[in-house]
Structure 1
Amino acid sequence: MGKGGNQGEEATEREAPMATFSWEEIQKHNLLTDKWLVVDRKVYNITKWSSRHPGGQRVIGHYAGEDATDAFLAFHRDLDFVRKFMKPLLIGELAPEEPSQDRGKNPQITEDFRALRKAAEDMNLFKSNHLFFLLLLAHIIVMESIAWFIIFYFGNGWIPTIITAFVLATSQAQAGWLQHDYGHLSVFKKSAWNHVVHKFIIGHLKYGKKKLKYLPYNYQHKYFLLIGPPMLIPMYFQYQIITTMISRRDWVDLAWAMSYYARFFITYVPFYGILGAVLFLNFIRFLESHWFVWVTQMNHLVMEIDHEPYRDWFSSQLVATCNVEQSFFNDWFSGHLNFQIEHHLFPTMPRHNLHKVAPLVKSLCAKHGVKYQEKPLLRAMLDIIRCLKKSGELWLDAYLHK
C-alpha cells in the first residue's frame, strides 16, 4: 500500500503542469543578482549557476531576460551532456500564446538560420578532419626544427637570432590558431581584459565626456601597435592563459603549453644562457603578439557597431565582424580567421570547413538584406589604423567640448 502510494505521488508530480511565463515577466530578470533565460521555450533561472559556467559569467549573463537558444546551440558540442546540468535550473516555460522570439526579433531570420545550421550538420561540417590538424602540427614541428638548425649552424649572432625569432614567432602563431580551434578568448576574465582595453582603446565617447585622460587617445593610431601588442601576449596572455588552464583544470592544454617552454629552454639556454634565453623568448612573444593583434582586430575593431542591444543571433554576428578575402596565404596567415563571420556564427565548427559554409551564409544574407562584409587583407589592416584615428578624434572632441 505504501509503495503504491509513493508511485501515485510520483506520477502526480510528473503530471503536474509547468509554470508558464510571459516575455514581460522574463525580461525583468536580467540583473546581476537575478538572471533568467530561455532555451527552446523553456525558462531557466541561472542566477547561481552563472558563476560556475565554464564559459564565464559574461557569456551566459549577456542573454539574461532573453531567448538564448541559438547561442546555446552555437557554443555547446554535446547537447545531451549539457542538458543534464540544465534540469535543476528549469523553472517553467513560455506561455503558449507567447512568440518564441523576444523583443520583436525577426522570427523568419531565426528559422532560416536554424535551417542553415541543420544543413551544415547534414554536410558533416562540424566534424574535424584529423589529417588537417596532424599536418598543421607537423608544420609547427618543422619550423621549430628549422629555427634550431639556424642557431646550431650559423651561431647566435644578431642576424641568425633575428631570423630564428621570426621563424619561432611564426610557429607559435600557427600553434595559437591550432589552440583557438578548441577554445575562445571570451572565457578570459572580463575585468582584467577591460583594464587593458580602457588604457589603449576607447571605443566610446563616455571616456571623453568623463574627462578620463589616461593617455593622449587622439594619437592612439600611432602608439597602440607599439605599446598594446607587447603588453598583450608577453605581459598579459602568458600569465592569463596559464592561470585559466589551472583554474579550469585543462591539464592536457597546460601540459602542451609547458612542453613548449621546456623545449625552448632546453634548446636555447646552451646558446644564450638563462637570461639571454628569457630575453629571446620575450622578443619572440613580442613578434607573435603583433601578428595576433593585427589578425584579430582587422575583423573586430574596425566594425562600427551601434548600441541596439537586442538582435537575433544571426544578425548580431554579422554586424559585429567582417571577413577577409580567401586565398591560400590569407587562410594560412590568419589561421582561417579570415572567415570570422562564419567562426562567430559557428564557433565549434572546425576551421577547415568554414569556407564550405560561407556560401550558405552569403545566401541567407542576400535573402534578408543583411550586409556581408568582406575585404582584401591590406585594406582590413589599414582600417585598424583608420578606426583608431577616428575614435581618438572623437575622444578629443568630447574631452575638449563636453
Structure 2
Amino acid sequence: MGKGSKNLDDDQQQESSVMTTSSSVINENGNGKGQYTWEEIRRHSNKKDRWLVINNRVYDVTKWVKHPGGQMVLNHYAGQDATEAFQAFHPEITRVQKYLKPFYIGDVCKDDEDNTDDDQALRDDFEKLKQKAIAQKLFTPSRLFFILACLHILAFEYAAYFVVFRFGTGWLPYLAAIVFYVIAEAQCGWIQHDFGHLSVFKKSKWNHLLHQIFIGFTKGASADWWNHMHFQHHSKPNVIDKDPDTRIEPAFVIGDKIPIRAAHRDVKYGKSFPYHLQYLYFFLAAPLLFPLYFQFTTIRHAIKRRKWMDVFWLSLFYIKFFTLMPLVFGLFGAIKLLFIIRLFEGTWFVVVTQSNHVVMDVSHDDEKSSWFRMQLKATCNIDQSYFNDWFTGHLNFQIEHHLFPMMPRHNLYKLKADVMDICRKHNIRYISKPMGQAFVDILTSLEKSGRMWRETYEELMHASKTIN
C-alpha cells in the first residue's frame, strides 16, 4: 500500500507524465515547481498515485510510507484539499512542514475557476472560533485533571487485584473485581484517547510514550493499531468505505445507503444475512467485539507491522494478568475472568461511541464539504452532567471533540455555545440528547437500516423471479 507509481506499467507512466506536463506551468518566480488545476489534482486520487493540497500547495505523497497517522489517512484525501484536516491533527505545524517539503511539487492555479468554495463563510467563522479558543488557552491541558484521571484508573485496577487476594474467590469479591477492572479498562480507553490525540503534553513524543504505556500495559492493545483505525475515523467520519466504523458488514448495515448496496450484493450472490434483526442481536454481538475481535486484531497488527514497542507493552499486560490472577482462580478461571471483563468493557465502549455516530448521516465522500460541516453531519452530543462526563470520558461533547480533536477534553464544554451559534448562522443541525435517549436511538437506527435492507432485498428478489 502506498508504494508509489513504480508499480505502474510503462504506458501508464507515460500517460501520467503527459497529463502532468499538459496541465502544469512553471511558476513566475522560477522555482521550477508547477501550477496545477484541480482537474489535474483530482486525477491523482488513488493509493498508487496520490496528490493532496495543503494551503494551496500541492504535494505528491505517493511514496510517503512512514506517515505517523498511517497510509489510509493519506489515501482518503488523495486528490483533495487536506488543509483543514492537516491543521486539526498536527499541533506543531512548523515542525511538521519540514517533513512535507520533499513532497512539494507546486501550487494550485490561482485562476482555477473549478476551485469555488460555497463554504468559505463557514470556514471563516470556524477559523475565528479556533483563534478565540487559542486566545482563551483552551488547548492548554490541566495537569491536575490528567494526573487525577490516570491515578483513578490505576486505583481501580489495584482494587481489582486487592479484593481477590484479600477476600478470596467468593461471589462478592469476584463481582467487585469485575466491576473495578471494567471501570479501569473503560476509563483507560478514554485516557489513552487523550494521549493518542496529543492533547496532554506539548511535546508529541511524551504523548506517544504515555499512549503506548496506557493502551499497552493497562489495556493490552497496540497504540499504532489505534492510530491506524481512529485517525481514519476522524478524517472522514461516517464516510462510506473510508471511515472504518462504516465497514462493519457482514454483521451490521448502517445509514440509508449501505443497506441498499448490501441488498443488491446479496441478491447478486444468492446469499443473505438477517440484517432486519440487527437491532435485536446488537447487544449480543457488540459485547463480543472486544474479546473475540479487537483483542486479537490489535496483537496481529502490532506483530505484522513490527511495532515492537507496542508488542512489548501489551505483552506486559498479559504477563501481569496471567501471572497474578491464576494464583487465585487458576489458569482457566483467569481466562474466564478476562473474557467477562472484556464483555462489559466492550459493551461500555460500543454504546458510548455508537450513540454519537451510528444514528447520524452515513454517506459517500463530499470532497468540497468543509471540515465543520462534515463533522456536524456525522456527530451528535449527549447532554452534560458530572456522571455523563465521567462515563463517556467527555465524549458526550463529541461534536466539539471532532471539530478540535487535539483540545483537552475538560475544555470541550466551553465551546458548546459558540459552536451552536455557528450552526444557527449557517443552518446546520446541532444535536444533543439525554444519555438514555442516545442509547435507545442506536437500536432505532439499526432497526430502520435493517428494515431498508429487507424491503430492498425482497423487492429485488421479487423482480428477479418475475423476470425469470
Report the TM-score, using the length of structure 2 for normalisation.
0.76
Give secondary structure in 2 for the equivalent of 1:152: helix
User: 1:324 pairs with 382, 385, 392, which one?
Assistant: 382
Mapped partners of 2:143, 2:298: distance in 1: 25
1:163-207 CA-to-partner distances (Å, cap 9, x unmatched) read 321221111100111101122646139899689711211121111
Mapped partners of 2:244, 2:56: distance in 1: 34
Mapped partners of 2:33, 2:136: distance in 1: 37
- What residue number does 1:77 align with? 91
The question of whether the paired residues in 1 share the 8 Å contact of 2:187 and 2:393 is answered with yes
Worse-matched range after superposition: 172-181 or 107-116: 107-116
In the alignment, structure 2 segments of 5+ residues that lack a partner are 1-27, 198-225, 233-240, 461-468
**CA displacement at 1:70 relative to structure 2:** 0.6
- What residue number does 1:9 align with? none
**CA displacement at 1:357 relative to structure 2:** 2.3
- The one-letter amino acid of 1:129's match is S
Correspondence 1:95 to 2:95: no
Give secondary structure in 1 for the equivalent of 2:107: strand
- What residue number does 1:111 align with? 124
Mapped partners of 2:365, 2:300: distance in 1: 35
User: 1:341 pairs with 399, 416, 419, which one?
Assistant: 399
- The one-letter amino acid of 2:326's match is V
- What residue number does 2:219 align with? none
**RMSD between superposed Cα atoms in Å:** 2.7
Mapped partners of 1:34, 1:401: distance in 2: 40
**CA displacement at 1:256 relative to structure 2:** 5.0
The question of whether the paired residues in 1 share the 8 Å contact of 2:382 and 2:433 is answered with yes
Mapped partners of 1:73, 1:195: distance in 2: 24
Mapped partners of 1:223, 1:122: distance in 2: 48
- What residue number does 2:161 align with? 148
- What residue number does 1:305 align with? 362
The question of whether the paired residues in 2 share the 8 Å contact of 1:199 and 1:214 is answered with no
Mapped partners of 1:277, 1:208: distance in 2: 43
- What residue number does 1:177 align with? 190
In the alignment, structure 1 segments of 5+ residues that lack a partner are 1-12
Give secondary structure in 1 for the equivalent of 2:110: coil
Q: In the TM superposition, what are the counterparts of 1:347-358 in structure 2 within 5 Å?
A: 347-358=405-416
User: 2:146 pairs with 133, 154, 157, which one?
Assistant: 133
Mapped partners of 1:132, 1:220: distance in 2: 39
- What residue number does 1:381 align with? 439
The question of whether the paired residues in 2 share the 8 Å contact of 1:46 and 1:89 is answered with yes
- The one-letter amino acid of 1:172's match is E
Worse-matched range after superposition: 273-282 or 321-330: 273-282
1:5-43 CA-to-partner distances (Å, cap 9, x unmatched) read xxxxxxxx9853532122222222223322211101101
- Compared with structure 1, are the counterparts of its residues 227 and 187 closer, same or farther at alpha carbon in structure 2 (3 Å cutoff)? same
- Compared with structure 1, are the counterparts of its residues 141 and 308 closer, same or farther at alpha carbon in structure 2 (3 Å cutoff)? closer
Give secondary structure in 2 for the equivalent of 1:43: strand
Give secondary structure in 1 for the equivalent of 2:250: helix
Mapped partners of 2:133, 2:353: distance in 1: 25
The question of whether the paired residues in 1 share the 8 Å contact of 2:54 and 2:86 is answered with yes
- Compared with structure 1, are the counterparts of its residues 211 and 244 closer, same or farther at alpha carbon in structure 2 (3 Å cutoff)? closer
Q: Count residues with an aligned counterpart.
A: 387
Mapped partners of 1:214, 1:135: distance in 2: 49
Give secondary structure in 2 for the equivalent of 1:38: strand
**CA displacement at 1:343 relative to structure 2:** 1.2
The question of whether the paired residues in 1 share the 8 Å contact of 2:266 and 2:272 is answered with no
- The one-letter amino acid of 1:22's match is T
Report the TM-score, using the length of structure 1 for normalisation.
0.88
The question of whether the paired residues in 1 share the 8 Å contact of 2:302 and 2:311 is answered with yes
- The one-letter amino acid of 1:362's match is M
- Compared with structure 1, are the counterparts of its residues 194 and 69 closer, same or farther at alpha carbon in structure 2 (3 Å cutoff)? closer
Worse-matched range after superposition: 350-359 or 368-377: 350-359
- What residue number does 1:66 align with? 80
Give secondary structure in 2 for the equivalent of 1:199: coil
- What residue number does 1:197 align with? 248
Mapped partners of 1:127, 1:250: distance in 2: 32
- Compared with structure 1, are the counterparts of its residues 207 and 103 closer, same or farther at alpha carbon in structure 2 (3 Å cutoff)? farther
Mapped partners of 1:368, 1:378: distance in 2: 29
**CA displacement at 1:244 relative to structure 2:** 4.4
Mapped partners of 1:342, 1:361: distance in 2: 8
1:38-78 CA-to-partner distances (Å, cap 9, x unmatched) read 101101112222x4322223222222222111100001122
Correspondence 1:207 to 2:285: no
Give secondary structure in 1 for the equivalent of 2:266: coil
User: 1:369 pairs with 391, 408, 427, which one?
Assistant: 427
- What residue number does 1:188 align with? 229
Give secondary structure in 2 for the equivalent of 1:234: helix
**CA displacement at 1:296 relative to structure 2:** 0.4
Give secondary structure in 2 for the equivalent of 1:188: helix
**CA displacement at 1:261 relative to structure 2:** 3.2
User: 1:54 pairs with 65, 68, 75, which one?
Assistant: 68
Mapped partners of 1:103, 1:223: distance in 2: 46
Percentage of pairs with the same residue: 41
The question of whether the paired residues in 1 share the 8 Å contact of 2:302 and 2:308 is answered with yes
- What residue number does 2:45 align with? 30
